[in-house]
A and B are shown apart, each in its own frame.
Chain A
Amino acid sequence: MKNLYKYSIFTLIIIGLSITYSEPSRDVETRGKTCLDCHHELQKKISEEKTHAPVKDGNCISCHNPHASNHKGLLKNNEMALCYTCHKDDKSGDFSQAIIHDPVRDGKCLICHNSHSSTNDKLLIKKGGEVCFSCHSKDSITTGKESHPLVKKGECITCHVPHSSTNEGLIKKGNADLCSSCHKVREKLFIDAHSGYPVEKANCSSCHNPHSSNSKSLLKASIHQPMAKKDCKTCHNDSNSKDPLKLISNGTILCYNCHTNTKKSFEKINSHVIGNRENSCLNCHNPHASDAKYLLDKREEKVCLKCHQDTKRRITAKSTLFKHPKLEDCSSCHSAHGSDNTSFLKAKEGESCNIEKCHEQQQIFSHPVGPDIIDPRNKKEMNCITCHNPMGSGYKYNLRLDPDKELCEQCHRF
C-alpha cells in the first residue's frame, strides 16, 4: 500500500514534468490555431511556398496584439519599428549605408515585401524586377530604342542593392568596377571605341545611360560637341601622352576657352559661381554627355535641389499643399548663371509671372500692382509675389498667408 502510494506520487511528478516541458510547443500551436480559427484566409497564405518565420510558427502575437492597438491590423508597433525589431541592422549595415532606398528610409517595408507569405524569394510581393517596376515604371526606364539586356530581363539586382549602398543610384560597386564585371575593358575593341583613352576606371554613366538609349552603345542623348567629333584633345591631353586623361587647362578657364559668351551670363548682380576648388561648371554640367537639357549632370530639378536642400524639404513637405505647376522646371523662372533681378529671376519681380504670357489674364483683374502701389510693410512696389509664393504654399492659389486672415490684414488694418 505504501509502495503504491509512492508509485502514484512518482507517476504524478513524471506526468506533471512532461506537461510542464511540453507546454511551450502546445501553447504556440494553440495560439496559432486560435487566430486561424477566425482568420481562415491566412490558412492558405501560410501554406504558400515561402512563409515568414513567425507565421510558420503560428506566433501571430510576435507582430500583432490580440486585444487592442493604435496601429492598423492590430500591429504591436508601426511598420518601421516592428520590422526592425527582428531585422536589425547592427551587423550587416544593410539598411544604413550612405544612400538609402526611400521605402527603407521611411520604414515602408511592405511596399516590396509581404508580411505573411509569398511565392517569391525574400517574401517579395512580385517576382524579381517586377517589384522594382511597381514604382520605377519600366516604361520610364526603357525610353530608348535600345535597352540594357539586364533591364530587359528585369534583373535589377545584378547591379543594384535594394536597401542601401555606399554608391549613388544604389549600385553595388563603384561605377567602373560594376560595369567591368561583365564588359571586357582591356580588349582592343573597347579601347578603340574610346579613341585609345584609358577609360576603364572612368565613370561609365558619365557618357552611357545604363538602362536605355536611342543611340548606339547606349550613349546619352546629348553629346558634348568635341566628344561627338571624337576630338577629346579639346579638353584632354593626347591619348598617347603620359597622362592622357589630364585636362589641358584648369577649372572654369577650360570651359571658357570655347564658351566665351557664357562668362558674361555670370556677370550680374546675383552671380551663381559656387566657390569651391573644383571647376565650378561641373557642379551642374556633365562635360561628356547627358540625357538632360544644357548637358546638365542630371534632371534640372535634381541638379538644383542637390545644393538647395532646404528648398527641396520645403516643396516636398506635406504642408506645401499648393505648388506651382512649373516648380520642377527651375529655369522657367530662374536664370541659372546669374541675374540682375532678385532671387535669380529671369525678369523683374513685377514681370516675372508673365514672361511666357503664363498669367496674362491675372494682369488685368488683379489687386492693384505696379510702381505706384506700395507695400506699406516694406515700402516695396507691389507685384504678384507680394501675395503669392510660387515656390509652394499651404494656402490656395499659392498665397503666402491665410487669405481669410492675415494676408489682407497685414496691409489693410481694420
Chain B
Amino acid sequence: MPQILTMNKYKILSIIFILFCLAPPYLFSADLNLIASLSGDKIMGKFNQPSAIFFDELKKRLYVADTGNNRLVSFDHEFNFISEFDAGGELKYPTSIVKNSKDQFFVVGGTARDELFLIDIPKKIFKQIEIKNITARENPFLPDNLAIDKDDNLYITDRGNGRILVVDSDGRFLKEIAVENKFVDLTDVQIDTEGNIYSLSTLEGKVYIFNNKEGSVSSFGKRGSRANEFEFPVSIAISPNRFVYVLDKHKGNVLVFKKDGNFQFNMLKKGWGNGEIYEPSYIYIDRGNKIYIVDRGNNRIQIFQGGK
C-alpha cells in the first residue's frame, strides 16, 4: 500500500512537471522589483509630461527630458536629484536625449519640435545641428526619438517620413533606414551591442529588426487585444540578454519577446499606484538590467530591477 502511494505521488509530480513544461511562457510574470519612483520634490519641482530618459553607464547618471517644463533633469545612481538644465531658457520642448562618449548631449526639441541640439556643458556649447545632405522625402524632416551606438553614431526617427536617419557626431548624414511600405511609421529606435537596429511601428503594431551584418529586415507583432498583441505600442528597449521589450501606452504594460518574435510574457499593469503605469511614453534598459519607464500619465519616472 505505501508503495502504491509513493507511485501515485511520483505520477502526480511527473504530471505537474509536464504541465509546467508545456504551459505557455506568458503565464509566468517577470521577476521585477520597483526600486525608485521619481515624481519630483520641492527642490526640483514636479515633472510636466516627461518624454524620454537616457542612462549614462560611465557616470551612472540618469537624464530625463522633462518636455512640459522645457528642461533636462539629472539624477545620480541612487536617483537623487542633481541638477536641471534649460540652456538659459533657450531649450524648448525636449523630447529625446542621448549622450556620446565625449560627454556631449544630443537633444530633440525646439518650439516646432523639429530641431536637433548639441549640448556640451564643459565647453558651454548649446547649438542647433543641421544635418546636411539628407535624402529628400515627401515631408519635411521631423526628428523624434534618438538612439546612439558604440561608435557614437546617432539614430534619429523621422516622424515626418517614417524612417530612421543615421548621422555621425558632427551631424554628417550617413544613411537612412526605412521599410518598403510607405505607410509605416517608425516611432522609436534602439541599437544592441552588435549594432542591430530595433524599431517600432505604432500604427502597424510591429517590431522591425534591421540586421547589421546581413543587411536583412525581420519583423513581428500585430495590433489586437490578446496578451501577445499590441494596442498602441510606443517605445522599444533591448535587455542585456537581447530580449525585446515593447511599451504599450494604451494597454499600460510591457510585452517581452525573444529576438525571433517569440512572445515571452507581459509585465506591469495599468494604474496609478506605485509600480503601475498609466499612458507611459518611453522605456529604456541599462546594462544592469534596470528598466526605466517614463510613466507620463502619472507624471513620474519608475525604475524597476529586472531579473539578473
Contact = CB atoms under 8 A, between A and B. Distances in A.
Nearest to B273: A377
Nearest to A281: B139
A318 to B, nearest CB: 13
B138 A269 contact: no
Contacts of B225: 310, 313
Interface in A272-319: 273-280, 307-311, 313
Chain A binding surface, main DSSP class: loop
Given A253-B140, A271-B113, A276 B298 contact: no
Interface string B255-298: 00000000000000001111000110000000000000001111
Contacts of A307: 203
A267 B111 contact: yes
Contact of B159 (A251, A273, A311, A340): A273
B195 to A, nearest CB: 23
A342 interface: yes
Given A275-B186, A310-B232, A342 B161 contact: no
Contact of A280 (B139, B251, B279): B139
B279 A343 contact: yes
A275 B138 contact: no
A311 to B, nearest CB: 7
Interface in B180-202: 182-187
Interface residues of B, number: 49
Contacts of B112: 263, 266-267
A168 interface: no
Nearest to A342: B49
B39 interface: yes
B299 interface: yes
Given A277-B162, A311-B250, A380 B299 contact: yes
Given A277-B162, A377-B273, A250 B139 contact: yes
B254 interface: no
B25 interface: no
Contacts of B119: none
Counting contact residues on chain A (CB < 8 A from B), the size range is: 20 to 34
Contacts of B140: 251-253
B158 to A, nearest CB: 7
Nearest to A250: B138
B93 interface: yes
Contacts of A250: 138-139
A340 B51 CA distance: 13
A375 B272 contact: yes
Q: Which of B139, B159, B300 has the most CB of A within 10 A?
A: B139
B62 to A, nearest CB: 19
B113 to A, nearest CB: 6
Nearest to B138: A251
A410 interface: yes
B272 A410 contact: yes
Contacts of B271: 377
A335 B60 CA distance: 39
A124 B160 CA distance: 50
Contacts of B142: 273, 275
Contacts of B144: 275
A377 B113 CA distance: 31
Interface string A237-258: 0000000000000111100000
A39 interface: no
B228 interface: no
A191 to B, nearest CB: 30
A277 to B, nearest CB: 4
A273 B300 CA distance: 25
Interface string A2-28: 000000000000000000000000000
Contact of B182 (A266, A277, A313, A377): A277
B284 to A, nearest CB: 20
Given A251-B139, A269-B93, A379-B46, A280 B68 contact: no
B56 to A, nearest CB: 25
Contact of B40 (A274, A308, A379): A379
A255 B69 CA distance: 31
Interface of A: 250-253, 263, 266-271, 273-280, 307-311, 313, 340, 342-343, 375, 377-380, 410
Interface of B: 39-40, 46, 49, 67-68, 93, 111-113, 137-140, 142, 144, 157-163, 178, 182-187, 203, 223, 225, 231-232, 250-251, 271-274, 278-279, 295-300
Given A269-B49, A275-B159, 10 more contacts: A250-B138, A251-B137, A251-B138, A273-B159, A277-B162, A279-B138, A307-B203, A308-B232, A310-B225, A380-B299
* Closest 7 pairs (CB-CB, A-B): A275-B159, A310-B231, A251-B139, A251-B138, A277-B182, A378-B298, A276-B162
7 contacts: A252-B139, A278-B182, A280-B139, A310-B223, A310-B225, A377-B298, A410-B273
